[in-house]
Amino acid sequence: VNHQTSGKRTGYVTDIPYTFRYQRELSPSLHWFAITGLGYQPGFHPLGSITYTELGCGYGLSLLIHAAGHPDSQFIGVDFIPEHIAAARRIAKAAGLTNVEFIETSFADLKSRNVPRQDVIALHGVWSWVDNENRGHILNFIDRCLKPSGVLYLSYNTLPGLAPVMGLREIMVTGFNRAQGTTLEKVEAAIRFAEDMRAAGAGFFAANPRAGQMLDRIKTLSRVYLAHEYFNADWWPFYHAQVADALRPLGLNYAASAHVLDNIEGLNLSATAQDRLAQTTDRTEREGLKDYFMLPDFRRDLYFRGTLQQVDNGPLLHSLRFAVADSPAAIDSITLTTSLGQIRPRRASALPILTAMQSGPASAIELMRNPACAGMGIDEIFDTLLVLCALGAADPAMPAHGQAARKARTDKLNEVLWELSLQDDSIHACASPVTGGGVGVERVEQFFLLARARGQEPAAFLKAAFGGAVQGDIAGDYARFVANRLPALNRLGIG
Ligand SMILES: C[S@@+](CC[C@H](N)C(=O)[O-])C[C@H]1O[C@@H](n2cnc3c(N)ncnc32)[C@H](O)[C@@H]1O
């Protein structure tokens, strides 16, 4: 453990490998859509050829998936943990991906690397987990390598939402430092220590109910996840203004959230809150005040390098094709929670759109001509597509031309990922040639997809792979997969 061995706080948890994770908010198509949707114009179009670098890419699953789905674009991943880079390179090589490169280096040493100027620089789960010095190195890289009109994606733990959790984290770190044993045993001890403090009546928990709720939630989470999330030496939540102020000298201005739902104020803020915010014209102040109403733990900000100008993106957006996986029967599963409660698409608008989109991606203009959407206006259709996208049920689609070439690439990557799922349960996403992004898949779904790709009967395939460890009704599970799940995956070009 490169961490707190003598009561001194240093380092990053490096003894527990990070998990493979696909992050939708790292998708360049989604960045483009989020910014364009708010009436601004990024300097790149994700359907063309872009240059994209992710700092702190971990095992690079998001990059690998985006590289497979965007053949004309160039991707770079940077991380200082050799196992991360080695695993990512192995997968890229096995999948024959030549448009993604992984660089093993620390942010400090990045200055000596010759990286061409980038359309997009992205960091997910990094900014809050490194120290000030490293944030300085990251800023230097962005300053040197982000093109004018380029986009920065930066996520970070957010204040005031996490203010009560700061104290809880400190208690847990105290418990972690007192404990002996492996990192995972120390995480366990840290949780027990916080629990004991609460049981002993520490006033902190009474004064900060959210800290207690968080402790209850933490007890249910994977210890590996918790080791990375809370027990690095660095864990720094920020107010939006602090981040915006650090980026302003680089000519970066806040454009939008990559979590599209956060951009739709009507789904996040009461009328009174919206009235209050209407009195504030300064963008930074407004975003900061929004955080007092919405209380996010985590912000997923997109910044534009240059001065943002409002343009009429209506025609562009109305001709943008979207893809959906869900059938109309799945409408009740399309939901997310905001500070206003559970958000769902309006059935009367969403059902005809989902019906029309079963045969493939469509733009708002194309949907208007579809008989299933008869009588619906362009605004109603587009607003529904936007809400479906915000709830994770629709994604901007890549152009129809190039689909076959993309599918050959994503099929190859997916087969490599599914083969890895035979070894352990660590990868839970694969690539769609339709959206150019990732799709969540469970382990058993990956087994079934791999058996199909190899033209083998699933039960026999699983018996050959796992022998006697395979139990239960595989034929029945497979039949249910084919009936209930495969059509959605097929709509996204998978399987
Ligand atoms: C919390 S993980 C996030 C990984 C990935 N972006 C994700 O969201 O799944 C942070 C990543 O940043 C990398 N990292 C942390 N400090 C670094 C540094 N100084 N130089 C290079 N990489 C670093 C870690 O190795 C780790 O993979």
Taking the C-alpha atoms of residue 389 and residue 242, their distance in angstroms, rounded to an integer, is 29
- Between the alpha carbon of residue 168 and those of residues 163, 171, 292, the distances in Å are 9, 5, 20
Note the pLDDT of residue 469.
78
C-alpha 201 – ligand 1 centre gap (Å): 37
Taking the C-alpha atoms of residue 411 and residue 47, their distance in angstroms, rounded to an integer, is 20
C-alpha 494 – ligand 1 centre gap (Å): 29
Structure tokens at 77: 């991943």
Ligand 1 atom nearest to 228, measured from its CA: 1
Going by C-alpha positions, the residue among 429, 427, 458, 425 that lies closest to residue 441 is 429
Using CA positions, which residue lies closest to atom 11 of ligand 1? Answer: 56
pLDDT, averaged across the chain: 93
Which of 15, 18, 53 is the best mutation target for the ligand 1 pocket, counting ligand atoms within 8 Å of the beta carbon and taking the most? 18
Taking the C-alpha atoms of residue 242 and residue 288, their distance in angstroms, rounded to an integer, is 10
Note the pLDDT of residue 240.
98
Model pLDDT for residues 324-339, shown as the tens digit of each residue: 999 999 999 999 999 9
Give this prediction's pTM. 0.94
Ligand 1 atom nearest to 20, measured from its CA: 9
CB 259 within 8 A of CB 153: no
Ligand 1 atom nearest to 58, measured from its CA: 27
Ligand 1 atom nearest to 81, measured from its CA: 25
Taking the C-alpha atoms of residue 121 and residue 151, their distance in angstroms, rounded to an integer, is 7
C-alpha 134 – ligand 1 centre gap (Å): 11
Taking the C-alpha atoms of residue 305 and residue 41, their distance in angstroms, rounded to an integer, is 11
Ligand 1 atom nearest to 61, measured from its CA: 9
Note the pLDDT of residue 142.
98
Using CA positions, which residue lies closest to atom 24 of ligand 1? Answer: 56
Which of 23, 26, 79, 234 is the best mutation target for the ligand 1 pocket, counting ligand atoms within 8 Å of the beta carbon and taking the most? 79
Taking the C-alpha atoms of residue 419 and residue 192, their distance in angstroms, rounded to an integer, is 38
Beta-carbon contacts of 334 under 8 Å, excluding residues fewer than 6 positions away, are: 326, 344, 345, 350, 388, 391, 392, 393
Kindly list the protein residues whose Cβ atom lies closer than 6 A to any atom of ligand 1: 12, 18, 21, 23, 56-58, 79-81, 84, 106-107, 124-126, 129-130, 134, 228
Ligand 1 atom nearest to 19, measured from its CA: 9
Ligand 1 atom nearest to 54, measured from its CA: 6
Note the pLDDT of residue 466.
87
Using CA positions, which residue lies closest to atom 18 of ligand 1? Answer: 106
Using CA positions, which residue lies closest to atom 1 of ligand 1? Answer: 125
Note the pLDDT of residue 155.
98
Using CA positions, which residue lies closest to atom 16 of ligand 1? Answer: 130
Ligand 1 atom nearest to 123, measured from its CA: 6
Give, in degrees to the nearest 5, the angle at Cα 144 between 307 and 233.
Answer: 100
Low-confidence ranges of the chain (pLDDT < 50): 1-10
Note the pLDDT of residue 46.
67
CB 268 within 8 A of CB 261: yes
First to last CA, the chain: 41
What b-and-e string marks burial along 352-384, b requiring 16 or more CB atoms within 10 Å of the CB?
A: bbbebbeebbbbbbbbbebebbeebeeebbbbb
C-alpha 58 – ligand 1 centre gap (Å): 5
C-alpha 196 – ligand 1 centre gap (Å): 32
C-alpha 173 – ligand 1 centre gap (Å): 20
